[in-house]
Amino acid sequence: MDVIFGRNKKEQLEPVRAQVTGRIPSWLQGTLLRNGPGMHTVGETRYNHWFDGLALLHSFTIRDGEVYYRSKYLRSDTYNANTKANRIVVSEFGTMAHPDPCKNIFSKAFSYLSHTIPDFTDNCLINIMKCGEDFYATTETNYIRKINPQTLETLEKVDYRNYVAVNLATSHPHYDAAGNVLNMGTSIMDKGKTKYVIFKIPATVPEDAKGKNPLKHTEVFGSITSRSLLSPSYYHSFGVTENYIVFLEQPFKLDILKMSTAYIRGVNWASCLAFHREDQTYIHIVDQRTGKPLPTKFYTDPMVVFHHVNAYEEDGCLVFDVIAYEDGSLYQLFYLANLNQDFEENSRLTSIPTLRRFAVPLDVDKNAEVGSNVVKLASTTARALKEKDDRVYCQPELLYEGLELPRINYAHNGKPYRYVFAAEVHWSPIPTKILKYDILTKSSLKWGQEHCWPAEPLFVPMPGAKDEDDGIILSAIVSTDPQKLPFLLVLDAKSFTELARASIDAEVHLDLHGLFIPDADGDTREQAPSQEQPDRVPDCHVAPWT
């Protein structure tokens, strides 16, 4: 597995034309833009964890049945500092660098601890976010990096803290029907409080002397006070419906005191993150119209969720689907020491990721009997049991076992939906297949091939699509067979059969997340961006993952 995880990947700066076999539908025109770690060694130094790797952006431009591939490292301050020093000098999730050149740039928001926590990294390796007409590479710190989606060049470094008081923000924003970005971040000990902040970045803004900057118009429209000042929950994503935000305050927590001493103790950020199996998972539902959380104290058993799949409102209830684990061991498995030749033994999950459906009543009947199920939905066996003191215990319906990196048809985000596209994951966290799960029939279709390691499958709807699965699936496939080139796989989303593959004679890395920019939507052909069409879900919606 060293080929996939250990080796530094070469950038492919000039677009290389792929060898296409099969036929790519003629309507599919645009760019699949994705992000993930590509470099794990700098000089003689090596990162400890796969999530530490320097961000490598790559794109597959699909035009008239042909595919062009290119890749480029994000020229983050972290990348530049490491390259200049020829060693790792900036700390990442699993690697504390010594000395950190940023140690003097103190995080203002950690008011009490300001002299101990070094500035976070801007190595934005996780996802791509569309913000107005701009694209950003994202991670989970307070930094995002603007990029040129066509050339993959790195542009401005943006500090979220200039626009909203958050020290950490998710790399999985949502988009509403108008293309506004909805995201969440954690504000640590600001004015004596630790909060989870929900903010909106508008898609369209008036132009000023410096041009259009939607971030300047960022608006906080709600927040949830953390149950603990010094140990806020870690979260990687959240859910939205038409009127609500779903936030899981899970017992997988960051220890701020540990973080404040991590640098002097020489330990990494990951060691400041722990699963508390004695705790519960609090389910917060925030009304987007008022910014206020619902008063009922919904909770469930301890679990760890990285990816929300979707959420929607049905008959006075809110239904939400997540991929859940019994513990926090997933991140442990991505230490590079575990991803070696013996990775099948060293990298075994202690709990299988499962698709769980929860349902909570939006209005709990005060007179309901203690112990009664206050969810009466025919569509799910998920239950919510009334307890004393405004507490409701939620019991999920188990939908499917062994999946991760979920995507949906984004036109159904926040709405009832039927299909989940995901990577198949059982005891090893490295996917070998991709799958389509039908929630209605509880059946699945799969694609997999020997020595092929698929990335997150992304759904692109066909023009005039009627059914939810009218469209195609794109997935970049990395191969460990030296005879086989990596390729972009194009599947028919309905039948899950292969329509085409585009083999790429260049290095392709195993990535994390990304989005599809239809030609009409982006300026990938150096054309003027299209006008906003408010009545229709913007094209970017079909693609950005949630």
Q: Which residues of 281-302 are buried (b: 16+ CB within 10 A; e: fewer)?
A: bbbbbbebeeeebbebbbbbeb
DSSP line for 286-345: EETTT-PBPSSEEEE---EEEEEEEEEEETTEEEEEEEEESSSHHHHHTBGGGSSTTHHH
Binding-site member from 95, 139, 218, 475 for ligand RET (CB under 6 A): 139
Residues β-bridged to residue 69: 16, 60
Q: How far is the CB of 321 from ligand RET (least distance, A)?
A: 16
Q: What angle do CA 420, 421, 426 make, to 5 degrees?
A: 100
Site string for ligand RET, 502-521 (x = CB under 6 A): ----------x---------
Which one, of 501, 459, 542, 514, lies nearest residue 57 by Cα? 514
**How many angstroms separate the CA atoms of 514 and 215, rounded?**
20
What is the size of the binding site for ligand RET (CB under 6 A)? 14
Binding-site member from 126, 169, 382, 473 for ligand RET (CB under 6 A): 126
The residue assigned the tokens 């906080």 is: 220
Q: Residue 92, interface with ligand RET (CB under 6 A)?
A: yes
Q: How far is the CB of 234 from ligand RET (least distance, A)?
A: 6
Indicate the residue among 236 and 418 with the shorter CB distance to ligand RET: 236
Which three-class secondary structure string do you get for 338-371? Answer: HCCCCHHHHCCCCCCCEEEEEEEECCCCCCCCCC
Binding-site member from 244, 269, 335, 417 for ligand RET (CB under 6 A): 269
**How many angstroms separate the CA atoms of 249 and 195, rounded?**
11
Q: 88: left (phi > 0), else alpha (psi -120 to 50), else beta?
A: beta
Q: Mark the segment that binds ligand RET (CB under 6 A) among 134-142, 207-215, 281-289, 453-461.
A: 134-142
Binding-site member from 24, 42, 168, 460 for ligand RET (CB under 6 A): 168
In angstroms, what is the C-alpha Rg of the chain?
22
Evaluate the CA torsion angle 6, 10, 11, 16 in order and state its sign. negative
Binding-site member from 121, 250, 288, 409 for ligand RET (CB under 6 A): 121
Q: How far is the CB of 139 from ligand RET (least distance, A)?
A: 5
Query: What residues between 32 and 51 interact with ligand RET by CB under 6 A?
Result: 51
Q: How far is the CB of 50 from ligand RET (least distance, A)?
A: 8
Indicate the residue among 205 and 352 with the shorter CB distance to ligand RET: 352
Q: How far is the CB of 147 from ligand RET (least distance, A)?
A: 18
Q: Residue 120, interface with ligand RET (CB under 6 A)?
A: yes
Binding-site member from 10, 157, 236, 415 for ligand RET (CB under 6 A): 236
Q: How far is the CB of 403 from ligand RET (least distance, A)?
A: 13
Q: How far is the CB of 476 from ligand RET (least distance, A)?
A: 16
Indicate the residue among 307 and 501 with the shorter CB distance to ligand RET: 307
**How many angstroms separate the CA atoms of 72 and 542, rounded?**
25
Q: Mark the segment that binds ligand RET (CB under 6 A) among 105-113, 135-143, 339-347, 394-402.
A: 135-143
Contact set with ligand RET (CB under 6 A)? 51, 92-93, 120-121, 126, 139-141, 168, 236, 269, 306, 512
